[in-house]
Structure 1
């Protein structure tokens, strides 16, 4: 389940970037109730995009900001409560990682869902039932 963290250069040290990404991963697993699930843990992937300062914008102007995007199958974090919980935790994680260099109101998050059957792992297309089966088998 890809996470993309986009930040301006100089906001987070490499160690803070790694800590932030680990915290975002933990947030997804915790909120989904899948902490410790080997299948899910291995499939929380993503990237950290560090862009030139002038390429991070709000209101059309360069700003110190961070963007978190989480892509999931339709069945994951489907409730409003789960979405709110992830966004709150993601904001907390990035704010802590920035160590006072980033105002909370400059952290934006969104969740994007893949349509049924459009989730691919290792060249295999998974529908919702396949994902539930893989997650359940991993927990056994």
Structure 2
């Protein structure tokens, strides 16, 4: 489940970037109730985009800001409560990693869902039912 974290240069040290990404991974697994699931843990992936300061904008001006995007299959974090919980946890993670260099109101998050059958892992396309089966299979193993 790809996570993309975008921040300006200087906001997070390399160590803080790693800490933030680990925290975002933990947040999605925790909210989904899949902390111990080997299949899901191995498939929470992503990137950290560090952009020049002048390329991270809010209200048309450079600002210390962070953008968190989580891509999931339609079956994951489907409830409003789960979405709110992830966004709150993700915001907390980035705010803590930035150690006061960012205002909470400058952390934006969004969750994007892949359509049915459009989730691919290792070259295999998964339907929602197939993906749920793989997740459940890992829980039993």
TM-score (norm 1): 0.99
* 1:9 matched residue in structure 2: 9
2 CA distance for matches of 1:131 and 1:75?
9
> 1:58-73, aligned counterparts within 5 Å?
58-73=58-73
* 1:138 matched residue in structure 2: 138
Cα offset for 1:131? Answer: 0.6
The answer to whether structure 1 residue 90 and structure 2 residue 82 are counterparts is no
2 CA distance for matches of 1:120 and 1:25?
19
| Structure 2 counterpart SS, 1:36 | coil
2 CA distance for matches of 1:3 and 1:127?
20
* 1:109 matched residue in structure 2: 109
In the TM superposition, structure 1's runs of 4+ consecutive aligned residues that sit over 3 Å from their partners are: none
* 2:26 matched residue in structure 1: 26
Deviation string, structure 1 residues 10-56 (Cα, Å, up to 9, x no partner): 00000000000000000000000000100000000000000000000
Deviation string, structure 1 residues 65-94 (Cα, Å, up to 9, x no partner): 000000000000000000000000000000
| Structure 2 counterpart SS, 1:113 | strand
The aligned length equals 140
The answer to whether structure 1 residue 120 and structure 2 residue 134 are counterparts is no
Over the residues paired in the alignment, what is the CA RMSD in angstroms? 0.4
> 1:72-83, aligned counterparts within 5 Å?
72-83=72-83
Structure 2: unaligned runs, 5 residues or longer: none
Deviation string, structure 1 residues 78-121 (Cα, Å, up to 9, x no partner): 00000000000000000000001110000000000000000000
| Structure 2 counterpart SS, 1:29 | helix
2 CA distance for matches of 1:40 and 1:68?
19
| Structure 2 counterpart SS, 1:108 | strand
